Amino acid sequence: MCGIVGYIGKRNAYPILIKGLHRLEYRGYDSAGVALINPEGQLNIYKAKGKVAELESFAADKDTGGTIGIAHTRWATHGEPNTVNAHPHYSESERLAIIHNGIIENYAVLKAGLTKEGYSFKSETDTEVLVQLVEYTQVNKHVDLKTAVQLALQQVIGAYAIAILDKEHPDTLIAARKGSPLVVGIGDDEYFLASDATPIVEYTDKVIYIDDEEVVCLQAGKEVDITTINNVAKTPEIKRLELSLSQLEKGGYPHFMLKEIFEQPRTLTDSMRGRVNVRQDNIALSGFIDNKERFLNAKRIIITACGTSWHAGLIAMYAIEEFAQIPVEVEYSSEFRYRKPVINKDDVVIAISQSGETADTLAAIQLAKEKGAFIFSICNVVGASIPRVSDSGCYTHVGPEIGVASTKAFTAQVVALTMLALCIGREKGTLNQKDYLKIVRELGQIPDKIQRVLGQNKRIADFAKTFTYAQNFIYLGRGYNFPVAMEGALKLKEISYIHAEGYPAAEMKHGPIALISQEMPVVVVAPHCGTYEKVVSNIQEIKARKGRVIAVVTVGDKLVSKIADYVIEVPETEECLTPLLTVVPLQLLAYHIAVVKGCDVDQPRNLAKSVTVE
């Protein structure tokens, strides 16, 4: 979703801002813009619809001088994606410029009040209302910019991360956040500002994560000044970034998504490092150990997440109920937060989020917290909002996931949740030692086994070409592999724009079977699991109706291999771990179909990497 970059210091700001916008492109956007105060004190704004490259072409012959500036990539919420609605926005007198992520929910009321005061608006955005409100406050209350921002934000309902420039004060950059992330990078007599650390990492590893309702005032050569919107002073907490520049590059792969699929053997090793000890046959998960009683006394576990993370949650439901025998409910965060759910003090809520910034998941956590539940989060981005508001949790440590379609984060979420299920089960005594040890040892083998699945990439790429004609796909799976079917379908629709649905295989007869024909490819996830024979029967039913079957099976499979049109083999493993292997060919299949169709794999249309608005 929208991205913010800011700079104040001694260097020329423009190249830093543009590079920063490129680093944030993965978040998804539809227009871009930049504002700079040049050495003569002029506040210049340049904007363009489309990619950052369009902005660069537009600004190529313009004055891009200045050592202070802000820049933005916009993902449209209020008003269509065009140049007028793109950020930055000027205030009425063109003294101020603002960029904003989030949604000002009461913008219509504020706009009506400002219109009465004679203010006019050029765009359809809620953001322009905010900058006008700041200027109105500055002028009418005779206060400085920081105070005007504080007073204006006190009137705002909604979510925001903002950055503001004032040409009357070319030495000051003001920013603030509520519900939308913001990070300050501390350089040598200079400051960087961004929605996440990716634009900052090449300049400094010292950062401050801004908290909700905080206003930060940055002036080159002066200490960072942080206050709340009610003007209470805060002490900045400087953190060290654990992010390297090479993690943000494609490393020779044509797309980030392919790089991230291929990284999985390593990322899962990283996720398990220090946690799964195969030699000692043990799993040590500190977030669990420190809060053991909460899990052991839980009457119920509620898992809340969105999209791919929700699919990981569904797999966890099978594992937790099997090993720990605690009832589990898996909820879409967006539904959970609004449906007046019954939440008890002895419930444990597990929130799953790659980005740690998903607005619906954050709101679901807040609701559960208010009801006294214990919040455990599984998150990838260190320091993001979700882990910060949780009681405890577990980072997945897979490094930045840049491709919009989540791949390596999903497998790491499944590993983290499986480790948690095993820990609870063993501690409760509901999982016997023999089974526990078998699975722990097998977890250690998973990275090598994924490597073997990746060895089939070329074959998958070859037969993927056959399916680019398809308008629709069905994905089927059962048990632990039903969520994998849904995840495979989500991957395909996200990046290739082919309609795809994931179903529990046995549900096929209750409707979807009507769709089966030669034109409808059916992907069946059929490893050797408890329901294998039943899935084989489903495949026979599909073949009887001339459907074309792509099957993911366990190596050495005899039955499915005879009847399916295309077969992809994965190594044998424990049933609860099969999703970690079976999902990989589905990631590759979606990727190759999208590439042959010429789609923008890493930045699919309309999608945002981190969904920070409802």
Binding site for ligand AGP (CB under 6 A): 306-309, 353-355, 358, 361, 404-406, 494, 610-611
- With b for 16 or more beta-carbon neighbours within 10 A and e for fewer, the 18-50 pattern comes to bbbbbbbbbbbbbbbbbbbbbeeeebbbbbbbb
Residues 6+ apart with CB under 8 A from 60: none
User: Nearest approach, Cβ of 261 to ligand AGP (angstroms)?
Assistant: 12
609 is catalytic: yes
Cα–Cα distances in Å, from 434 out to 289, 325, 329, 383, 441?
A: 21, 17, 28, 37, 11
Annotated catalytic residue within 2, 217, 306, 599: 2
CA–CA separation, 275 and 304 (whole Å) = 24
Residues 6+ apart with CB under 8 A from 53: none
Cα–Cα distances in Å, from 205 out to 208, 251, 269?
A: 10, 21, 25
Q: Based on CB atoms, which residue is closest to ligand AGP, 85 or 406?
A: 406
User: Nearest approach, Cβ of 353 to ligand AGP (angstroms)?
Assistant: 3
CA–CA separation, 216 and 224 (whole Å) = 7
CA–CA separation, 548 and 523 (whole Å) = 8
Pairing of strands 183-186, 206-209: antiparallel
Given a contact cutoff of 8 angstroms between Cβ atoms, the answer to whether 515 and 559 are in contact is no
Q: Based on CB atoms, which residue is closest to ligand AGP, 208 or 611?
A: 611
Given a contact cutoff of 8 angstroms between Cβ atoms, the answer to whether 74 and 86 are in contact is yes
CA nearest neighbour of 423 among 330, 286, 311: 286
Write the single-letter amino acid at 350: I
User: Nearest approach, Cβ of 583 to ligand AGP (angstroms)?
Assistant: 12
User: Nearest approach, Cβ of 117 to ligand AGP (angstroms)?
Assistant: 39
* Two tokens, residue 162: 């903002």
DSSP code, position 179: B
Q: Based on CB atoms, which residue is closest to ligand AGP, 69 or 488?
A: 488
CA–CA separation, 207 and 305 (whole Å) = 28
DSSP line for 580-595: HHHHHHHHHHHHHHHH
509 is catalytic: no
Q: In what order do the strands lie in the sheet with 548-554?
A: 499-504, 472-477, 521-526, 548-554, 566-570
User: Nearest approach, Cβ of 308 to ligand AGP (angstroms)?
Assistant: 3
**Range list of β-strands (E), 235-298:** 239-240, 276-277, 282-283
Q: Based on CB atoms, which residue is closest to ligand AGP, 535 or 613?
A: 613
Residue 238: what are its φ and ψ, rounded to 5°?
-85, 130
Q: Based on CB atoms, which residue is closest to ligand AGP, 180 or 358?
A: 358
Instruction: Supply angle C-alpha 556, 525, 330, rounded to 5.
Output: 135
Q: Based on CB atoms, which residue is closest to ligand AGP, 358 or 573?
A: 358
User: Nearest approach, Cβ of 482 to ligand AGP (angstroms)?
Assistant: 17
Q: In the complex, which residue's CB is closest to ligand AGP?
A: 307
Q: Based on CB atoms, which residue is closest to ligand AGP, 32 or 384?
A: 384
CA nearest neighbour of 489 among 328, 554, 570, 481: 481
Annotated catalytic residue within 146, 178, 408, 609: 609
Q: Based on CB atoms, which residue is closest to ligand AGP, 6 or 179?
A: 179
Q: Based on CB atoms, which residue is closest to ligand AGP, 180 or 361?
A: 361
CA–CA separation, 551 and 582 (whole Å) = 10
User: Nearest approach, Cβ of 68 to ligand AGP (angstroms)?
Assistant: 32
Catalytically active residues, by annotation: 2, 609
